[in-house]
Amino acid sequence: MIDQELFELAAAVGRVLGQRGDTLASAESCTGGWIGQVVTMIPGSSSWYDRGFITYSNASKRAVLDVRDETLERHGAVSEPTVLEMVEGALRHSDAGMAVAVSGVAGPGGGSAEKPVGTVCLAWGLRDGTRAVLTCRFAGDRDAVRRQTVIRALEGVTDLAGRPAVA
């Protein structure tokens, strides 16, 4: 069953990246590969989707994306500094010109007063050094939080990729 909203967002990502002649890498924690699954629903996505990294554990964030121990200890996995380092690692370990990273508390457990269930950090980066980061608080159950994360991640890709290139 195809989720039409997600399909349309992924198609928009493909159009924007195609117009730029660019490719995307994803670095996912709380979504567990859902971003990669959504973008690869689009026929021809191999021309603009380079690869995905699923780094659910802190150990995998360190080993695969070079997220620093200090960052994880000081800020936690669900933090803007962590997703920015995930973006950096995804760009460093891929041929993509753009990366998106997500890490969050999807629930139903795992939340805290500081980072309640639904807290998700997202980051986007272009190879030219342009970066964007955002923390969201999504409502709903685990599936709803994860789905909203995928939507916001894809919207952010089109937002950032649609900007004029930095000279």
- Provide the CATH number for the domain around residue 10: 3.90.950.20
Strands 131-137, 49-54: pairing is: unpaired
pLDDT of 15 higher than 80: yes
Q: Which residue has the tokens 């002649």?
A: 21
Q: Please give the structure tokens belonging to residue 154.
A: 């894809």
**166 within domain boundaries:** no
For 125-160, what is each residue's pLDDT tens digit? 999 999 999 999 999 999 999 999 999 999 999 999
> Residue 167: inside a domain, yes or no?
no
* Per-residue pLDDT tens digits for 21-76: 999 999 999 999 999 999 999 999 999 999 999 999 999 999 999 999 999 999 99
* Domain enclosing residue 98, as ranges: 4-161
Phi/psi for 49 (5° steps) reads -115, 115
Structure tokens at 34: 């859902």
Residue 167: which pLDDT band, with cuts at 50, 70 and 90?
very low
Query: Could you give the number of structural domains in the chain?
Result: 1
- Decide if 124 is inside a domain: yes
- Listed in order, strand segments (DSSP E) in 105-148 are 119-126, 131-137
pLDDT tens for 73-126 read 999 999 999 999 999 999 999 999 999 999 999 999 999 999 999 999 999 999
In a domain, 113, yes or no: yes
Tell me the average pLDDT across 1-9.
Answer: 89
